[in-house]
Structure 1
Amino acid sequence: MADGVVMREIESGDVMDMRDETFANVIDEINARQSQTRLSVVLAILFGIAGFLVGKALGGAAPVLGVMAFLPGMLIGKWLDGYRRVSVLYYDLELDAEAAYGRLVGAFETLTLCAGRWHVAAGGKIQDLTTWKRNAGASMLVDKKPTTLASTLPQVVRSNVTPPSIQVGRQVLYFMPDLVLVKDGNRYGAVGYADLRTQFAPTNFIETGRVPSDAEVIGHTWAHPNKSGGPDRRFKNNRQIPICRYEALRLSSATGLNELLEFSRTNVSQAFCQALSAIAQLHQDSSRQTLSAD
């Protein structure tokens, strides 16, 4: 609850429930490798202890040698972890698949150019007049924070492609050519493009913070409005607040993905959603051709 408003979380389910049997072996391998003990930690401790004991035996230099031995142990362990705990995903895409993925990457870059990019964690409807006045006449309260959009791979994966990625709260979505890889801490799940649902729509937001440089201001309200929409004279310093036209994008799946994003510009999500749908269609067509061949 926030400011007397019941907030409903907009949150994905357990990442381990996000399984597409087509990619089950890949996800199982990533999770199995990720669960292995970090040799960088083990060897750093062992080398440090060994250095300490050697230093003590030599007389008085134990702490110094312990610290000096700690770093080589960590570096050697990190090098070994690079082979033990990392999965390799190599893609040799057909021309149509490469073109479709290129359109997805291009549409994603348009999203990254928005001055304002947020992940919406929760929302709640304002029910009473007092709360409505206290929140500049807003009909909804939202809990949102700036989020990160970047082209990057998770540390546990090496690949010949660098996918678009979106931070959505505690999870990160990686848009690989064949699946959406979902990272939650040290665990990974997957959503097939055919199972990914998208929705986008413009939304009006009463911006009490800094207005993004590319946002469209469509009007103003008062920090404390009266019923008619004018300023409530009982409040001092009752300033005007801009109303911005943003765009909301929802990503969901039947397996539990449920995330809401917001961007400071409108007409930026459609190309991204169309690119996702095009990749899904390619995969479905490929599956039908495989079944026909069988």
Structure 2
Amino acid sequence: MKKQVVPDTLIKVGRQGARYQQKTYQANERIHGTTQEALEEYEEVIVDRSAAEIIDQINRRVKSPYYSLYCGIASLIFLFIFYPLSIILAIASLIVYRADVARKTTPLFYEFSDEYSEKKFHESIMSFSNLAMTKTSWRLKSKVAVSDWKRNAGSNASLIRHRSKIGKQNPNLIKTNVDVWGVDAGSIKLYLLPDRFFVFQDGVYSAIPYSEIQASLQDMEYVEQDSLPSDATVIGKTWKYVRRDGGPDRRFNNNRQLPIVQYGVVVFSTQNFIAYLIVSSLGIASSFTQSFSRITASSSTPTEPLPTPAKQFQTALPEVNLPPEHLEPLKKAASEGSELSTSQIAQLLGVSSSFITKNPVSFDYEGFRFVRSGRSGRQISWKVEYLGTGV
């Protein structure tokens, strides 16, 4: 059998983008003596590749089987039949496993064509190292509405979150010559590489150009029932079992007071991908989204203006075509100077409450301006101003 030579991948990153090259080897046949014995030599050839071809190669290797698994199963079977053979098979399993890892691993070697590209990559690493200074982070997996808020510390939604780790990472079955920073959140992992933003999910890799990814910020009020991170901002207190007036429900003996904290939610999004990272420090999350957005904006066309910090918070609501009669209650509230709760506004505009609460000060929509004025019970209250346009 011919020995399989894994090609080395060279990625040249420059101001104009990334260029992908691979070393492949073509065999030259040579006849020796009268025995017609075929010997082979390999000549190194440089071939241009695309990013999609490189990712496809990585995933083919990642999904290829571990042959050491079969040796391990055989070793367990012979453990009860013939012990000495089981020991031999166990050693063989270790040797085959190392060969499996080498066969499945893709080497990626990066080379910077100019100082600009190298500086931009180091700035990206710095932004993630600053984000890693937060005490605790989680990946938001799902959000479920709850109806019995009295037994859920006054909350109308429950989150399922997974503890994550921000910092230097070792990408699964990828070997590279640069430091890799990112987020390890269990079933999904995010890796920062010089050419693209790598995502490992469901056992395969995908790579997102930096010009296509956006990092935005949301703030979240959360009733913390686990240990309280030292950098979290406490904005209030509630009870695990709460009455309508906010006091403790004394029917429960194990009722305890819980802190209400304000976390930052960093949202990584493209047209086909979105991931939510909850960060215990809202200030660190805000600083990260601003710096990372400037870096990704510089990866697109040079004429694009960089986003200002104010726009990072002022996220636009999705466009919804509503008939005028749906907005009459808003006109009435504006004319009377009355205030509306988040849920009331969400119902009138046809959007979710989260799209509204991520605006910390105010936002304009459908010809109205909504300004935070305080709290009404468990919800944020908003003053409504009619601008006279867009309706």
Paired with 1:280 and 1:215, the residues of 2 have a C-alpha distance of: 28
CA contact (8 A) 2:266 2:289 kept: no
1:84 corresponding residue in structure 2: 103
Of the three residues 132, 145, 151, the one matched with 1:134 is 151
The answer (yes or no) to whether the contact 2:139–2:185 under 8 Å persists in 1 is yes
Q: How far does residue 34 in structure 1 lie from its aligned partner after superposition?
A: 1.9
Query: Which residue matches 2:320?
Result: none
Whether the 8 Å contact between 1:225 and 1:231 is mirrored in structure 2 is yes
Question: 1:82 Cα shift?
Answer: 4.2
1:283 maps to 299
Report the counterpart of residue 244 of structure 1 in structure 2.
261
Q: 1:262, 1:151 → 2: CA distance?
A: 19
Which runs of 5 or more residues in structure 2 are unaligned? 1-48, 305-391
Aligned equivalents of 2:157, 2:71: Cα separation in 1: 53
Match of 2:219 among 202, 212, 237: 202
Deviation (angstroms), 1:227: 2.5
In structure 2, the CA distance between the partners of 1:285 and 1:104, relative to structure 1 (3 Å rule), is: same
- Paired amino acid for 1:80: A
Please give the per-residue CA displacement for 1:172-216, whole angstroms capped at 9, x wherever unaligned: 111211112121243221222122122212222111222112222
Report the counterpart of residue 18 of structure 1 in structure 2.
Answer: none
1:254 and 2:271 are equivalent in the alignment: yes
Distance 1:234 1:71 in 2: 59
Whether 1:23 and 2:42 are equivalent positions in the alignment is no
Question: 1:115 maps to which residue?
Answer: 135
Distance 1:163 1:157 in 2: 10
1:211 and 2:231 matched: no
Cα distance in 2, alignment partners of residues 242 and 259 from structure 1: 26
CA distance in 2 between counterparts of 1:156 and 1:172 reads 13
Give the share of equivalent positions with the same residue, in percent: 27
Q: Give the 3 Å change call, closer, same or farther, for CA 239–84 of structure 1 in structure 2.
A: closer
Find the aligned partners of 1:103 and 1:123 in 2 and give their Cα distance: 33
Deviation at 1:44, TM superposition (A): 6.4
Q: Quick one: distance in 1 between partners of 2:158 and 2:299?
A: 39
CA contact (8 A) 1:33 1:84 kept: yes
In 2, the alpha carbon distance for the partners of 1:44 and 1:138 equals 49
Q: What are the within-5 Å matches in structure 2 for residues 1-294 of structure 1?
A: 23-41=51-69, 62-64=82-84, 66-93=85-112, 94-126=114-146, 128=147, 131-255=148-272, 257-285=273-301
- Of Structure 1 and Structure 2, the greater strand share is in 2
User: What is the Cα deviation at residue 78 of structure 1?
Assistant: 3.4
Inter-partner Cα distance in structure 2 for 1:277 and 1:22: 26
Give me the whole-angstrom Cα distance separating, in 1, the residues matched to 2:107 and 2:82. 41
Task: Using the TM superposition, give the Cα deviation of residue 158 of structure 1 relative to its aligned residue in structure 2, in angstroms.
Answer: 0.7
Amino acid at match of 1:63: Y
Shift of 1:22: 5.8
**Given that residues 114 and 265 in structure 1 are in contact (C-alpha distance below 8 angstroms), is that contact kept between their aligned partners in structure 2?**
yes
Distance 2:132 2:71 in 1: 40
- Give the C-alpha shift of residue 271 in structure 1: 3.6
C-alpha change, 1:34 and 1:83, in structure 2 (3 Å) is same
Deviates more, 1:197-206 or 1:31-40: 31-40
- Matched residue SS, 1:122: strand
Question: Contact between 1:119 and 1:147, CA under 8 Å: does it hold in 2?
Answer: yes
**Aligned residues between the structures:** 251
Which SS does the other structure have where 1:248 is aligned? Answer: strand
Q: TM-score, normalised by structure 1?
A: 0.74
Question: Mean Cα displacement is larger for which, 145-154 or 228-237?
Answer: 228-237
How far apart are 1:277 and its partner, in Å? 3.0
In 2, the alpha carbon distance for the partners of 1:180 and 1:147 equals 18
Structure 1 residues 76 and 202, CA gap change in structure 2 (3 angstroms) = same
Q: CA deviation at 1:262?
A: 0.8
Q: Deviations over 1:93-120 (max 9, x none)?
A: 2322222222222222222232221111
Q: Which protein has the bigger helix share?
A: 1
For residue 220 of structure 2, give the secondary structure of its aligned residue in structure 1: strand
Take 1:237 and 1:37, find their aligned partners in 2: how far apart are those partners?
Answer: 51
Whole-angstrom distance in 2 between the partners of 1:144 and 1:119? 6
1:6-38 deviation per Cα after TM superposition (whole angstroms, max 9, x unaligned):
xxxxxxxxxxxxxxx962011101012223333
TM-score (norm 2): 0.57
Cα pair 2:162 2:185 within 8 Å, conserved? no
